[in-house]
Structure 1
Amino acid sequence: MKVYDVPVVFFDLDDSLINKDANSLWIRWRFRRDRWAMVEGVQALLSLYRAYKKGRVTHTRLSNYYRTRTRGMTLADYQSSVERFFNERGQLHIYPQAASLLFAYQRQGTRIVMITGADEVVAEAYGRELGIGDVISNRLDVAETQIKGLQKPLCYGIGKVDMARRFLSGSGYGLDQAAFYSDSHADLPLLEQVGFPVVLNPTQILADVARERSWPVLDWRETVS
């Protein structure tokens, strides 16, 4: 695995550092514990996953999903549930190659940033496990301990570009000096802006784009039985 001599490297989470998407793992885990997870799963399947695959996730749609996902939970309840989920299920899906690549960047002094559409509680759990201190993610909208949805803007599509730029603001570095690893064509806006785009475990659409543009491709799925 090539390690780029860059001051900052961004990593997507779902299907990139982990071999599934965190929302699917969460729903499967919840099925065993709460009947409401059936409602959550149906909503996610019908209104969220299809939109995600088409690159059409909206703030309204994702916020509605999160209201369903956290029904009856305070923020503290959700944080506790995510901790149990991560310990029992979530951490098992981290690619072993991810630790090696992250260590190589850490050793050369590159600042590592996770930038993901997962919510901040889930994203930070993975960040702690992977030793990634900087996490950019979707942020929960909380009022008096109750989760109302997600804040704007979304960490998705073009929103990731804006958030990455804000993160670098004042650092003296630009996106043209950064690398970004992602699996999804929804991340094309940011892949197109960084100086070192790397396609990781790509969707077919993104694999086709990478071939046309001669972007490097890593596929860790080939080593997973």
Structure 2
Amino acid sequence: MRVYDVPVVFFDLDDSLINKDANSLWIRWRFRSERWAIVEAMLALASLYRAYKRGRVTHWRLSNYYRTRTRGMNLASYERRVEQFFTERGQLHIYPQAASLLFAYERQGTELVMITGADHVIAEAYGRALGIPHVISNRLRVEGEKIVGLERPMCYGSGKVALAQAFLQARGLSFTDAAFYTDSHADIPLLELVAQPVVLNPNEQLRNAATLRNWPCLDWRIE
């Protein structure tokens, strides 16, 4: 695996550093003990996943999913559930190759950043396990003790680009100082901006786009 000489490297999480989608892992874990997981799964399959494939995830749609996902939980109880999920299932899906690549970048002094559409509680659990000090993600919006949706901007599409740009600008850097690893065609806008795009475990649509643009491709699923 080649390591690029850049000050900052961004990594997607789902199907990139881990071999599944974190939301899918969470739902399957909840199925073991909670009937409510059936409602969450139906909402995700009927609305969220199809919208994601069409590149049409909206703030309202994702907020609605998280209101359903965290029904009956305040932020503290959700954090406890996520910790249990991560210990029992989530950590088992980290690609072993991820640790080697992250270590190589850390050794050369590159700043590691996870940038993901997962919520900040899930994303930070993976960030701690992987030794990634900076996590940019969707943040749960809390009013009083109740989780009511997501903060803006959403870490998806143009919102993801804006959040990455803000991180770089705070350090006096620009996209020409960054690399980005991701599996998803939804991240093409950010891939097109960074100095070094890398396609990681891509879906078919992104693989085709990478071939046209001559972007390097890694596929840990077949190693």
Is the TM value for this pair above 0.5?
yes
Residues 1:169 and 2:159 are matched in the alignment = no
What's the CA shift for 1:177?
A: 1.5
CA deviation profile, 1:91-141 (whole Å, cap 9, x unmatched): 000000000000000000000000000000000000000000100000000
Show the counterpart of 2:207.
Answer: 207
For residues 37 and 172 of structure 2, what CA distance do their matches in structure 1 show?
Answer: 45
Q: Does 1:131 align with 2:120?
A: no
Deviation at 1:33, TM superposition (A): 1.4
**1:61-72 residue pairs with structure 2 within 5 A?**
61-72=61-72
Name whichever of 168-177 and 5-14 sits farther off.
168-177
How big is the shift at 1:211?
Answer: 0.3
Q: Once the two structures are aligned, what percentage of the paired residues are identical? A: 71
State the TM-score, normalized to the length of structure 2. 0.99
Tell me, what secondary structure is at the counterpart of 1:193? Answer: coil
Which residue is equivalent to 2:95? 95
TM-score of the pair, normalised by structure 1: 0.98
- 1:76 is matched with 76
Corresponding residue of 2:33: 33
Matched residue SS, 1:187? helix
2:179 corresponding residue in structure 1: 179
Amino acid of the structure 2 residue aligned with 1:165: Q
Instruction: Deviation per CA, 1:67-102: give whole Å up to 9, x if none.
Output: 000000010110000000000000000000000000
| Cα distance in 2 between the residues matched to 1:48 and 1:170 | 32
Identify the residue that residue 152 of structure 1 maps to in structure 2. Answer: 152
Report the alpha carbon displacement of residue 53 of structure 1 after superposing the two structures with TM. 1.2
Match of 2:192, SS state, is: helix
Cα distance in structure 2, aligned partners of 1:93 and 1:170:
32
Q: Deviations over 1:136-186 (max 9, x none)?
A: 000000011210011111000111110001011131211112000000000
Which amino acid is the alignment partner of residue 48 of structure 1? L
Q: Does 1:120 align with 2:120?
A: yes
**Distance in 2 between the 1:166 and 1:172 partners?**
10
Matched residue SS, 2:181: strand
User: Could you list the runs of 5+ residues in structure 2 that have no partner in the other structure?
Assistant: none
1:52 Cα offset (Å): 0.8
Q: How many residues align?
A: 223
- RMSD, aligned α-carbons: 0.6
* Map of 2:104 onto structure 1: 104
